[in-house]
């Protein structure tokens, strides 16, 4: 048995997830990711939450806007309930080990695997020749983000499932090629009604912070008027709500609004249908507006308060980066040693 196998620590449960500061936070990010970060934090398990600024620059970001978006994202985490004393919270670029392990994984991942990634196809669109190399390599860096901490659980939205599966493929190939049992098989955790919030303008497209149409999404910083206007204008159909959620299967826009309602109310879609069956959207939408404003307004108020002291946010991120590095550095060194890099210190 190789030394690496003998020294392989038992994989204790650890949660890692991240969000790109590629724009302002949306309701999709809140329901699919941040709200669940907070749930995991309440359990007796180490939680690491990152602002993945190196992923954000895979598409153009104005430097000043990137700084603001990173701080605002940190404010969003905290305002929604991520506690920097309990969870490790930092921006990715402060821990250089992400990029270093990312390179190793560029050499593990196969082109055939990368070519199957649907996010690249969606984001590069018809003009893939003009996309950055970073956008293509993104999933290998994401695998590094996760495996640098030997994370066992990754709470994400539905759209990231394929990337977490790729992370498992990379871990398995690395372990196999080097004859070690060093990286864990990470589980994507995709739970609840809010794992795929759709655009308010097009029920076949997911809500995204980088969508050019502001009307397609609810931003966490939108005030009550903006939320009301966007939900009122959200695309729907003229039919009333049916008895069961199943009956909405061919009505993607209606289905989306019911899903959002259930996720915000922390109830099941069946319970929402039981309450709302027979209502027209003219009745349902104002109820959804009230619920959304009730849940989101305290978060956006707290975000603006936190944004008044960016130096404090920077201190929190620097402190989180120190804690993250303390976990990441030995894992990277061990990886270097396994790979055969001279000078690796363990």
Binding-site residue numbers for L-tryptophan are: 145
**Binding string, residues 77-96; x marks residues near ligand ATP by CB under 6 A:** --------------------
Q: Is 206 among the catalytic positions?
A: yes
Task: Give the residues across from 188 on adjacent strands.
Answer: 154
Does residue 4 touch ligand ATP according to CB under 6 A?
Answer: no
The binding site consists of 20-22, 28-29, 145, 157-159, 197, 206-210
Binding-site member from 24, 84, 102, 157 for ligand ATP (CB under 6 A): 157
CB 60 within 8 A of CB 283: no
The residue with tokens 């308060």 is 305
Tell me the closest approach of the beta carbon of residue 184 to ligand ATP, in angstroms.
Answer: 19
Q: Write down how long the chain is.
A: 346
**In the window 251-290, what residues touch ligand ATP (CB under 6 A)?**
none
CA distance 119 to 45: 30
Out of 14, 16, 29, 336, point to the residue binding ligand ATP (CB under 6 A).
29
20 belongs to the binding site for ligand ATP (CB under 6 A): yes
CB 70 to ligand ATP: min, Å: 12
Q: Which is nearer to ligand ATP, 8 or 269 (CB)?
A: 269
Rounded to a whole number of angstroms, the minimum distance from the CB of residue 186 to ligand ATP is 14
CA distances from 278 to 240, 281, 283, 284, 339 (A): 5, 10, 10, 10, 63
26 binds ligand ATP (CB under 6 A): yes
Q: CB under 6 A: which stretch of 29-37, 42-50, 91-99, 329-337 binds ligand ATP? A: 29-37
32 binds ligand ATP (CB under 6 A): yes
Chain positions 198 to 217 lying near ligand ATP, rule: CB under 6 A, are 206-210
Is residue 164 within 8 A of residue 149, CB to CB? The reply is: no
Per CB under 6 A, does 22 bind ligand ATP?
yes
Query: Do residues 36 and 19 make contact, with C-beta atoms less than 8 angstroms apart?
Result: no
CA dist 69 to 73, 96, 285, 318, Å? 6, 20, 30, 16
- Which of 4, 8, 16, 33 lies at the binding interface for ligand ATP (CB under 6 A)? 33
One of 123, 161, 205, 235 is an active-site residue; which one? 123
Q: What is the DSSP letter of 25?
A: -
Q: Can you tell me which of 4, 15, 19, 54 binds ligand ATP, judged by CB under 6 A?
A: 19
Task: Give the whole-angstrom CA distance, residue 314 versus residue 52.
Answer: 15
Q: Which of 35, 209, 230, 285 is catalytic?
A: 209
Closest approach of Cβ 156 to ligand ATP, in Å? Answer: 4
- Residue among 175 and 208 whose Cβ is closer to ligand ATP: 208
Two tokens, residue 343: 């000078």
Nearest to 50 by CA among 16, 79, 24: 16
Sheet holding 46-51, edge to edge: 88-91, 46-51, 14-19, 153-155, 187-189
Calpha distance 252→200 (Å, rounded): 10
Let me know: does 49 contact 123? Beta carbons within 8 Å: no
Residues recognised as catalytic: 123, 206, 209
Residues interacting with ligand ATP, by CB under 6 A? Answer: 19-20, 22-23, 26, 28-29, 31-33, 156-157, 159-160, 194-197, 206-210
């Amino acid at each position: 048995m190789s030394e690496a196998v003998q020294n392989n620590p038992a994989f204790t449960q650890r949660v890692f997830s991240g969000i790109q500061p590629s724009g302002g936070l949306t309701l999709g990010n809140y329901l699919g990711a941040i709200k669940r970060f907070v749930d995991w934090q309440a359990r007796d398990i180490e939680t690491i939450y990152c602002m993945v600024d190196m992923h954000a620059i895979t598409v153009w970001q104005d430097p000043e806007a990137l700084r603001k978006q990173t701080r605002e994202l940190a404010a969003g985490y905290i305002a929604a309930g991520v506690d920097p004393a309990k969870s490790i919270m930092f921006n990715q670029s402060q821990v250089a080990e992400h990029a270093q392990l990312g390179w190793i994984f560029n050499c593990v991942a196969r082109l055939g695997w990368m070519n199957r990634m649907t996010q690249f196809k969606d984001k590069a669109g018809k003009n893939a020749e003009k996309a950055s190399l970073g956008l293509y390599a993104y999933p290998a860096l994401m695998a590094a983000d996760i495996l640098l901490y030997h994370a066992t659980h990754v709470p994400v939205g539905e759209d990231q499932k394929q990337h977490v599966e790729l992370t498992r493929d990379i871990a398995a190939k690395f372990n196999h090629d080097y004859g070690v049992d060093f990286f864990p098989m990470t589980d994507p955790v995709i739970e609840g009604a809010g794992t795929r919030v759709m655009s308010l303008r097009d029920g076949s497209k997911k809500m995204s912070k980088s969508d050019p149409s502001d009307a397609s999404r609810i931003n966490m910083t939108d005030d009550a008027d903006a939320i009301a206007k966007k939900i009122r204008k959200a695309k729907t159909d003229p039919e009333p709500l049916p008895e069961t959620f199943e009956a909405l299967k061919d009505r993607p826009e209606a289905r989306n609004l019911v899903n959002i309602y259930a996720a915000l109310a922390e109830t099941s879609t069946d319970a929402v249908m039981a309450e709302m069956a027979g209502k027209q959207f003219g009745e349902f939408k104002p109820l959804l507006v009230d619920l959304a404003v009730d849940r989101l307004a305290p978060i956006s108020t707290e975000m603006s308060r936190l944004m008044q002291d960016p130096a404090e946010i920077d201190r929190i991120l620097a402190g989180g980066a120190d804690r993250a590095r303390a976990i990441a550095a030995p894992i990277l060194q061990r990886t270097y040693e396994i790979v055969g890099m001279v000078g690796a210190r363990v």
